[in-house]
Amino acid sequence: MEFSFYLIQLLNGIQYGFLLFLVASGLTLVFGIMDVINLAHGSFYMIGAYLAFWLTGIFGSLFLGIVLAIPLAVALGFVVERLAIAYLYKKGHLHQVLLTYALILIFDEAQRFLWGNDSHGVDIPAALSGSITLTDIQVYPVYRLFVSFVCIVIGVGMFYVIQKTKLGMTIRAGASNRQMTQALGINIERLFTIVFSLGVGLAAFAGMIAAPIDSLYPGMGDNILIISLVVVVIGGIGSIKGAFVGAMIIGVSSIFGKTLFPSMASIVVYAMMAGILIWKPQGLFKSA
């Protein structure tokens, strides 16, 4: 196999890593700042994908579908936080696991009720359906490059908000010392609502832009949840930087695992996690 083959795998791995980052960043923030384990986080990825599928079907344009789906997803995050997650702040992790697991069941059931058990696909928009020629026989789809590009833009935006804005300061402060943040007059519950809703928005957005390259099927959120938990643990709970590095490591190694050692593909990711945790039991980076 030649260089361009590896290049394609690497590009796929990076693109997958970017999507994982969008999902894992919300998960790690919610865990790090709010101390809530949200097992339903993967469901929002699924919901995003189905929203994109549904709205694209109605309006005939993926872009329009996504533009409309984002506010719906954030609003859903807001409602879920107010009606369910807000009860968990003073509870232990067991309550959180039970309640957010119940949310998975509810979302999965709603998905089946609305869209059935068949798997679905979303077409790649015509403007991005082309390919780039790498060598005489190898091409790379433009849409995948587009996905990576959009994720970079969002990643930079997120980094800017967290590092440079007052909201970002309070998010970082809340992650390191919740009581002091409150004692300085910050409304920590409102901060939690914002962080949770934005996290849901990011996960759902990942599902939306992944819809044309990933098929939609019942329970598709479970797989991404587990991989995202691995990413969060590797990166260090609460660390955005860690979520990024962890997502890249897992994204690239899982794609290479699938092509180079197909028989062992499913354990590559966990072997990676075990290795990193032996080296750094707290994960690669510290919180926020």
Partner 1 sequence: MTTGSPGNNTPLIEARGLHTFYGDSHILHGIDITIHKSETVSLIGRNGMGKTTTLRTLIGLAPPRQGTIKVHGRDIKKSKVHKIVHQGIAYVPDDRGIFPNLSLYENLIMAARSGPNGRDDWPLSRVLDLFPRLKERMGHMGNQLSGGEQQMLTIGRALMTNPDLILLDEATEGLAPKLRKIIWAVIKQIKKAGIATVIVDKDIKTLLEISDRNIIIEKGKIIYDGDSEKLIKEPEILKKYVGV
User: In the complex, which residues of this chain contact partner 1 (CB under 8 A)?
Assistant: 166, 169-170, 172-173, 175-177, 179-180, 182-189, 286-288
Contact 283/236 with Cβ under 8 angstroms? yes
| CB of 183 vs partner 1, minimal distance in Å | 5
236 vs 43, 77, 229, 245, CA distance in Å? 22, 24, 10, 10
Q: Kindly tell me the sign of the dihedral angle through the C-alpha atoms of 261, 265, 270, 272.
A: positive
Residue 266's CB is within 10 A of a number of other CB atoms, namely 11
| CB of 232 vs partner 1, minimal distance in Å | 18
Using alpha carbons only, give the angle 56, 61, 67 rounded to the nearest 5 degrees. Answer: 80
In the numeric block, the tokens 């707290």 are attached to 282
DSSP H or E stretch at residue 141: strand 139-141
Q: Which is nearer to partner 1, 126 or 183 (CB)?
A: 183
Q: Which is nearer to partner 1, 166 or 263 (CB)?
A: 166
| CB of 170 vs partner 1, minimal distance in Å | 6
| CB of 175 vs partner 1, minimal distance in Å | 7
Q: How many helices (H) and strands (E) does the chain have?
A: 11, 2
Q: Which is nearer to partner 1, 145 or 169 (CB)?
A: 169
| CB of 178 vs partner 1, minimal distance in Å | 10
Q: Which is nearer to partner 1, 81 or 214 (CB)?
A: 81
Q: Which is nearer to partner 1, 136 or 166 (CB)?
A: 166
| CB of 177 vs partner 1, minimal distance in Å | 6
DSSP H or E stretch at residue 131: strand 131-133
What whole-number distance in Å separates Cα of residue 121 and Cα of residue 220? 13
Q: Which is nearer to partner 1, 9 or 176 (CB)?
A: 176
How distant is the alpha carbon of residue 180 from its chain centre? 30
